[in-house]
Amino acid sequence: MAQPEYRSFRQGDEESLVTLWNSQLVRDPVSLDLFCRQTLADPNFSEDGLPVAIQGSTMAGFALTVAPGTPRVYSQPPGIGRLSAMAVDPAFRRQGVGNSLLERAMAFLKKKGCTRAVTVAPEYFTAGVDLQAYDTAVVFLNRRGFTVTGEAVGMGRKLVDMTWPSEGRAAEARTRAEGVEVRTFRPGDTVSATAFFREEFPDWLWYFELKLGREDPPDDIVVAVRAGKVIGYCQRLEADHVGPFGMAKAWRGRGIGTVMLFRLLESMARRGFRFAWFGETGRARTYYERAGFEVLRRYAVMERDLTGPPTRGERSV
């Protein structure tokens, strides 16, 4: 079989790339709209950071990378580039296609001044490489200079016959006594909510702006408000995916977050949702376990040093 053509992503490649993505990254499907919104519209997106392999009218593979730049979602530290997604059509595997794509992607990151590459997607795609669904990808990357540096988990829970945790109702009473109101977001909260994100979670502001632009039900967003100031935020992202969710530092550890979360879960259950999940829960796993969530997915966080000599595959690119 003839070798495919390797080039940077071009306008018009969107549909074939999304088709390949969904056929191979089966646990992380994306719509064309989502890919365009979260990748192509990202101010950090570069066509050169998305090398593709094309044979005729077939997309044989792609590797999506993002270099640090203008923060929009999950701003990256200087020098840290991200390998966000990668797929190769099975008909083109074991022919060097994956290796060629990966090394082109790594060369792009190095050209952008990156000294390391990590496998954490910047925009709610994945929290790493799924250890069950994409175990062969872990082996592939490990053989090409990536090492496992940590693990992330995604968690979820059923909403059928949902009950609050024992600490939840007590926290609700304390919240009211402290003058904190947990309720559905109102348009008049916009200025305060924007200030909350800028002060506490600047990487999340884009998701709030995105939510305001949709015609979603108003109870898709739950806020904690004290003296007219937003001090906590919880939203349904899309479908049964929950997030972002967080409290201002000064108000953490008082149970207010639990009240917000269960208010949101209750509203989702009333509207017919039977499940809710978080893509990645960070160091708060025990908190979510107490709230009835279970580990659904485990991800390998992998990293590669880009400062050393080129690999064998890189020399041939």
Q: Stretch 160-173: mean pLDDT, rounded?
A: 86
* pLDDT per position as a tens digit, 60-119: 999 999 998 765 555 567 789 999 999 999 999 999 999 999 999 999 999 999 999 999
Question: Which DSSP symbol is given to 215?
Answer: -
Q: Look at residue 75 in the predicted model and tell me its pLDDT.
A: 56
CA distance 177 to 69: 44
CA distance 88 to 66: 19
> Global pTM?
0.82
Q: 230 or 316: whose pLDDT is higher?
A: 230
Q: Look at residue 71 in the predicted model and tell me its pLDDT.
A: 56
Q: Stretch 227-252: mean pLDDT, rounded?
A: 94
Q: Look at residue 315 in the predicted model and tell me its pLDDT.
A: 42
CA distance 58 to 298: 32
Q: Tokens for 40, please give them.
A: 């192509």
Q: What is the mean pLDDT of the chain?
A: 90
Structural domains present in the chain: 5-153+299-315 (3.40.630.30), 161-273 (3.40.630.30)
Examine the pLDDT at 55 and tell me if it is beyond 90: yes
Contacts of 193 (CB under 8 A, 6+ apart): 185, 208, 223, 230, 233
Examine the pLDDT at 279 and tell me if it is beyond 50: yes
CA distance 17 to 192: 39
- Lowest pLDDT segment from 145-159, 161-175, 221-235, 261-275: 161-175
Q: Look at residue 123 in the predicted model and tell me its pLDDT.
A: 52
Confidence tier at 313 by pLDDT (50, 70, 90): very low
Examine the pLDDT at 6 and tell me if it is beyond 80: yes
Q: Of 204, 267, 191, give the one whose Cα is nearest residue 71.
A: 204
Residue 90's Cβ-count burial label (10 Å; 0-12, 13-18, 19+) is: exposed
Q: Is 187 left (phi over 0), alpha (psi -120 to 50) or beta?
A: alpha
Confidence tier at 161 by pLDDT (50, 70, 90): confident
* pLDDT per position as a tens digit, 170-193: 899 999 999 999 999 999 999 999
CA contacts within 13 A on the Cβ side of 197? 21
Is residue 176 helix, strand or coil? helix
- Chain Cα centroid distance, residue 295: 17
Examine the pLDDT at 316 and tell me if it is beyond 60: no
Q: Look at residue 72 in the predicted model and tell me its pLDDT.
A: 54
Q: Stretch 251-266: mean pLDDT, rounded?
A: 95
Residue 103, H or E segment? helix 97-111
Q: Stretch 24-48: mean pLDDT, rounded?
A: 90
CA distance 138 to 71: 28
Residue 236, H or E segment? strand 229-238
Q: Of 97, 66, 76, give the one whose Cα is nearest residue 3.
A: 97
Q: 152 or 50: whose pLDDT is higher?
A: 50
